[in-house]
């Protein structure tokens, strides 16, 4: 896996389309990769032929999550994501949302976690503006079930509770 620019992916996207391959796109911070992330990416990959992960840059992550995040720098997060069998390509973006990437790549399937669903399981368009773009381009939005307790925030909280004031070896 190589970390690719959006321009490089747009070129590849045309060849995938010409060969009848279904593009699945997801995006996120993927800080401190954990089992919930792995499950999510495997489920996303199963929905098509090529999985592209758009990764929030460090600056974008700080804008969304606050000044203490990310824990893991973008180059390391990209390397770990790219090492997963389910992930075909990774690209970085600096914006708070992946709308520009969705518009440029025109995925067949756009995947996010169930935490982006309304009570009726429809996408929460206020929190997921990419969904409007996908629908307008004829793609499908899939919200995967949220894995309770499987979040970076929960992991950070456990670390703070267990080691917050102690010296670690």
User: With 80 as the cut, is the pLDDT of residue 1 above it?
Assistant: no
Residue 18's domain spans which residues?
6-163
Query: At a CB cut-off of 8 Å and minimum separation 6, what does 134 contact?
Result: 102, 107, 110, 140, 141
Query: Which of 5-9, 116-120, 124-128, 132-136 holds the top average pLDDT?
Result: 5-9
Q: What is the pLDDT of residue 72?
A: 94
Please give the backbone phi and psi of residue 23, each rounded to the nearest 5 degrees, phi first. -90, 125
In a domain, 169, yes or no: no
Q: Which residues, other chains included, contact 79 with Cβ-Cβ below 8 Å and sequence gap of 6+?
A: none
Q: In what order do the strands lie in the sheet with 109-113?
A: 89-93, 50-56, 23-28, 109-113, 140-144
Instruction: Give the tens place of pLDDT for each residue, 45-104.
Output: 999 999 999 999 999 999 999 999 999 999 999 999 999 999 999 999 999 999 999 999
Whether 73 is covered by a domain: the verdict is yes
Domain tally for the chain?
Answer: 1
pTM as predicted: 0.87
- Assigned token pair, 9: 């992916």
Whether residue 168 is contained in a domain is answered as no
Band (pLDDT 50/70/90 cuts) for residue 165 is low
- Tell whether the model's pLDDT for residue 113 goes beyond 70: yes
Find residue 144's DSSP bridge partners.
113
Q: Which residues, at least 6 apart from 135, have a Cβ–Cβ distance to it below 8 Å? A: 141
CATH code for the domain of 130: 3.40.50.620
Residue 83 maps to a domain: yes
61 falls within a domain: yes
Distance (Å, rounded) from C-alpha 124 to C-alpha 13?
Answer: 27
In a domain, 144, yes or no: yes
Compute the radius of gyration of the chain from its Cα atoms.
16
Highest mean pLDDT among 86-90, 110-114, 152-156, 162-166: 86-90
Cα distance between residue 25 and residue 101, in whole Å: 9
Pair type for strands 23-28 and 50-56: parallel
Contacts of 40 (CB under 8 A, 6+ apart): 26, 111, 113, 144, 147
């Amino acid at each position: 896996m190589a970390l690719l620019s959006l321009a490089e992916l747009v070129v590849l996207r045309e060849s995938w389309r010409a060969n009848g391959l279904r593009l699945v796109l997801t995006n996120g911070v993927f800080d401190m990769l954990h089992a919930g992330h792995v499950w999510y990416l495997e489920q996303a990959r199963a929905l098509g032929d090529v999985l592209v992960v758009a990764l929030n840059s460090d600056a974008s992550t700080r804008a969304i999550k606050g000044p203490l995040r990310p824990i893991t720098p973008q180059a390391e997060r990209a390397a770990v994501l790219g090492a997963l069998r389910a992930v075909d390509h990774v690209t970085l973006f600096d914006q708070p949302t992946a709308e520009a990437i969705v518009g440029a790549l025109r995925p067949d399937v756009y995947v996010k976690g169930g935490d982006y669903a309304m009570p009726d399981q429809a996408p929460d368009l206020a929190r997921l503006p990419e969904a409007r773009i996908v629908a307008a381009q004829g793609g499908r939005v899939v919200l995967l079930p949220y894995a309770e307790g499987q979040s970076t925030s929960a992991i950070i909280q456990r670390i703070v509770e267990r080691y917050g004031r102690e010296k670690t070896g």
